[in-house]
Amino acid sequence: ARQHPNPDPSISTCPAGSQPPSRPRFPRRLSPARTKPAAPPPNLIACCHPPTGSTLRISDASAPAAGHASRVASVPAAGEEMAANLEDVPSVDLITEVLRRAKCSSKPDKRIILVGPPGSGKGTQSPLIKDEYCLCHLATGDMLRAAVAAKTPLGIKAKEAMNKGELVSDDLVVGIIDEAMKKPSCQKGFILDGFPRTVVQAQKLDDMLAKQGAKVDKVLNFAIDDAILEERITGRWIHPSSGRSYHTKFAPPKTPGVDDVTGEPLIQRKDDTAAVLKSRLEAFHMQTEPVIDYYSKNGLVANLHAEKPPKEVTVEVQKALS
């Protein structure tokens, strides 16, 4: 603050014909996100001194006097930046999110693991579970890629391992899961997909959760015969630009090999072949099935009939989690 005493109150420093206001009237401060501050009257700062003994706060002056350098740079605080961002969010989106969080507040916490071979329907059920129970969906592959892209300390270590052609260690993956669980979206719990794949990984996950006073609540086992999986996988066709999925038997396109919406050709993923599926199923039976036995000892496994239509599987999921 600076003092501006008038050495002789009888002497006016304002131009002839102008009258100083009885007291300075500074413009009302508005959020910097909404508007630029209005300039004060030209004779207010340049001409008129405050009464003797009064204080002029430089931060109250919205614009400097002509010919004078600005002494204070207005830098919004973190809270103001957040408020500015919220002001740009459409009201309907804000209301929707508030209502969603209010609904989620009454939901019980759940930590769920999905286990099943490729094509068993985990990807179909996980978004339904996520929305119903207000959980976050943790897919280890996506989390690794996100950590590498964000250059987090764990992401840097993961990238170093991948650049050397090495597998990312179990401890590193568990650490990335631990990081992801701290996000606000995981406040009510998580759905873990793609991990653990081995008993050792399951033990490391349990140890990490135990340090937080938490534990796995349910393991959903998507049980299905290998022969049915081969029929499901090898019949899948994809429209690459939109991600629309078709199946030659269960959900065929109107015209074989052509997307219903765009008329563009469909493709089959390289992994969606009988040979690749056979290799992946062998790895699943050898490594991941023991994980089901590991959790079964604690009564955490719910076996689902994954060969059923999706809606019927959803009913089984709801019963298992109720």
Task: Determine if the peptide bond prior to 256 is cis (ω within 30°).
Answer: no
Task: Output the DSSP codes for 260-313.
Answer: TTT-PBPB--TT-SHHHHHHHHHHIIIIIHHHHHHHHTTT-EEEEETTS-HHHH
Question: 122 an active-site residue?
Answer: yes
Which member of 188, 197, 204, 232 is catalytic? 197
Nearest alpha-carbon partner for 198 in 190, 209, 206, 210: 206
Question: 100 an active-site residue?
Answer: no
Tell me if 115 sits within 8 A of 220, measured CB to CB: yes
Question: 57 an active-site residue?
Answer: no
Question: 236 an active-site residue?
Answer: yes
Nearest alpha-carbon partner for 219 in 299, 99, 129: 299
CA–CA gap between residue 19 and residue 133 (Å, rounded): 68
Question: 2 an active-site residue?
Answer: no
Angle at which helices 199-211 and 170-180 cross, to 10°: 40
Q: Which amino acid is at 266?
A: L
CA–CA gap between residue 292 and residue 199 (Å, rounded): 9
Tell me the backbone φ, ψ of residue 321, rounded to 5 degrees: -95, -5
Which member of 130, 159, 218, 280 is catalytic? 280
Nearest alpha-carbon partner for 160 in 178, 143, 148: 148
Which member of 110, 122, 157, 204 is catalytic? 122
Tell me the backbone φ, ψ of residue 60, rounded to 5 degrees: -80, -25
Which member of 57, 269, 278, 319 is catalytic? 269
Which member of 110, 111, 188, 236 is catalytic? 236
Residue 293: partners with Cβ closer than 8 Å, 6 or more residues away: none
Q: List the structure tokens of 282.
A: 């062998």
Question: Which residue stretches of 33-152 are H helix?
Answer: 42-46, 78-87, 91-104, 122-133, 140-150
> Cα dist. 284→79, 170, 277 in Å?
49, 17, 10
Instruction: Cite the active site residues.
Output: 122, 197, 236, 269, 280
